[in-house]
Chains A and B, each alone.
Chain A
Amino acid sequence: EIVMTQSPATLSVSPGERATLSCRASQSLSSNLAWYQQKPGQAPRLLIYGASTRATGIPARFSGSGSGTEFTLTISSLQSEDFAVYYCQQYNNWPYTFGQGTKLEIK
């Protein structure tokens, strides 16, 4: 099973600033990596798939990069609605697995 490790566990950033979230895989994923946003009481929302392709309707301030075992989600100019928990997920090998999440909080 591929282990996904996200860092940091909590990230404190001021509105308008940039946030950079990291995700590391225990083995190569090629580009089979997705990012999700989850707010309290809500289902996850797909942000990025294929490591760098934004899902339909996702604002351009969200961008993904990386391949192999190291991936990054960048949110430029944070808006109030962006404060949430973010998960990475690999779909290169079954069973699909998630990282433990990064909580993005207001500084």
Chain B
Amino acid sequence: EVQLVESGGGLVQPGGSLRLSCAASGFTFSSYDMHWVRQATGKGLEWVSTIGTAGDPYYPGSVKGRFTISRENAKNSLYLQMNSLRAGDTAVYYCACGAAGTGAPTHWGQGTLVTVSS
């Protein structure tokens, strides 16, 4: 059974940093594209980042230069380093996985809440 478990969320001040982790199990982690998607309370879904099997990262303009996605295949783990956090980054962050080269994740974690506030 595929399982994705996020951790690392919490309360951080504006301008601060946070590192999210996603522990994966139940599939061949190295063969899957991995994604981060976020959702502010009561709002829609927003793509945050994708990393392919070759380690190639993708970011939308809203987080480019502030967020860094990485993966550690030996540990079946995905990470999201978030710097220069803003109030607008407050959201539940979901980890998701999908077959390599496809952009529609088949499995999602339950999310971790990041709150940026003073």
A55, chain B: closest CB distance, angstroms: 6
B77 close to A (CB within 8 Å) = no
User: Could you name 23 residue pairs across A and B whose Cβ atoms are closer than 8 Å?
Assistant: A1-B60, A32-B103, A34-B103, A38-B45, A43-B94, A43-B111, A46-B104, A49-B102, A49-B104, A56-B106, A87-B44, A87-B45, A89-B104, A91-B103, A91-B104, A92-B103, A95-B58, A96-B50, A97-B47, A98-B45, A98-B47, A100-B44, A101-B45
- B83-114 vs A, CB cutoff 8 Å, 1 = contact: the mask equals 00000000000100000001111101111000
Q: Is the CB of B47 within 8 A of A95?
A: yes
Chain A residues with a Cβ under 8 A of chain B: 1, 32, 34, 36, 38, 42-46, 49-50, 55-56, 87, 89, 91-92, 94-101
Q: How many residues of B contact A (CB 8 A)?
A: 20
Q: Is the CB of B47 within 8 A of A96?
A: yes
B48, chain A: closest CB distance, angstroms: 9
Top 4 closest pairs, chain A to chain B, by CB? A91-B103, A95-B60, A34-B104, A43-B108
B72 close to A (CB within 8 Å) = no
B26 close to A (CB within 8 Å) = no
**Apart from the given pairs A94-B58, A100-B44, 9 other A-B contacts in the complex at a CB distance below 8 Å:** A43-B108, A45-B108, A56-B106, A89-B103, A91-B102, A91-B103, A98-B46, A99-B44, A101-B45
A11, chain B: closest CB distance, angstroms: 16
Alpha-carbon separation in the docked complex, A49 to B102 (Å): 9
Cβ-defined partner of A46 (8 Å) among B50, B106, B110: B106
On chain B, the residues within 8 Å of A49 by CB distance are: 102, 104
Alpha-carbon separation in the docked complex, A41 to B111 (Å): 10
Residues of chain B in range 9-38 having any CB-CB distance to chain A below 8 Å: 37
Residues of chain B in range 47-94 having any CB-CB distance to chain A below 8 Å: 47, 50, 58-61, 94
Cβ-defined partner of B106 (8 Å) among A55, A92, A96: A55
Asked whether A44 and B94 contact (CB < 8 A) given A87-B44, A87-B45, A100-B44, the answer is: yes
Q: Is the CB of A43 within 8 A of B45?
A: no
